[in-house]
Amino acid sequence: MTFDALKPKIKTLVSNSSTVDETLLWICDLLRTEIPHYDWVGFYFRNGDKEELRLGPYAGAPTDHTIIPFGKGICGQVAISNQNFVVPDVKAQDNYIACSISVKSEIVIPLFVNGKNIGQIDIDSNSIDPFTDADERFLEFVCQSVATLM
């Protein structure tokens, strides 16, 4: 399904009356099912006042990395930089936390509420260099939509 076709589905999911975690899980499932190069889709959120991220809802293989300190890995770097991070080839990254040997690339987009970076969406792909500007714009849309729930 195209990003444009997915956008109204995201809007419908965020406007239903389910819990935040249920809604986030549906979004993860939708993206993983409908976008061929999305093999793992999950949300990480700041863990209270701690300088660490905690795994929220996700779709894909379970990961051991349920807590990620700020600064560690791609996710931990985005928690500090407040910038999108596109990794075409994870092998080229020194500061990277491997979740599975099948993962070849990753994209992490921060999630802002009232200008504050409160978490992120993290996508792993088993393809090399699959992410384009269109992924970034679409995932920014997803994060902005999710922010309305927070």
E strands, 1-150, are 40-46, 52-59, 67-69, 85-87, 105-113, 116-125
d(Cα 78, Cα 122) in Å, to the nearest integer?
Answer: 10
Provide, rounded to whole angstroms, the least separation between the CB of residue 31 and ligand SME: 14
Query: Which of 20, 54, 63, 69 touches ligand SME (CB under 6 A)?
Result: 63
Residues 5-34 that bind ligand SME (CB under 6 A): none
Query: Which of 106, 111, 119, 142 touches ligand SME (CB under 6 A)?
Result: 106
- CB neighbour burial string for 68-77, b if at least 16 within 10 angstroms, e if fewer: bebebbbbbb
Residue 97 near ligand SME by CB under 6 A: yes
Residue 143 near residue 121, CB atoms below 8 Å? yes
Tokens 């931990």 -> residue:
76
Provide, rounded to whole angstroms, the least separation between the CB of residue 65 and ligand SME: 5
Residue 96 near ligand SME by CB under 6 A: yes
Query: Which of 122, 135, 138, 142 touches ligand SME (CB under 6 A)?
Result: 122
Provide, rounded to whole angstroms, the least separation between the CB of residue 90 and ligand SME: 7
d(Cα 115, Cα 143) in Å, to the nearest integer?
Answer: 12
One-letter amino acid at 129 equals: D
Q: Which contiguous run of DSSP H or E holds residue 111?
A: strand 105-113
Provide, rounded to whole angstroms, the least separation between the CB of residue 5 and ligand SME: 26
Binding site for ligand SME (CB under 6 A): 40, 42, 63, 65, 68, 73-76, 96-97, 99, 106, 122, 124
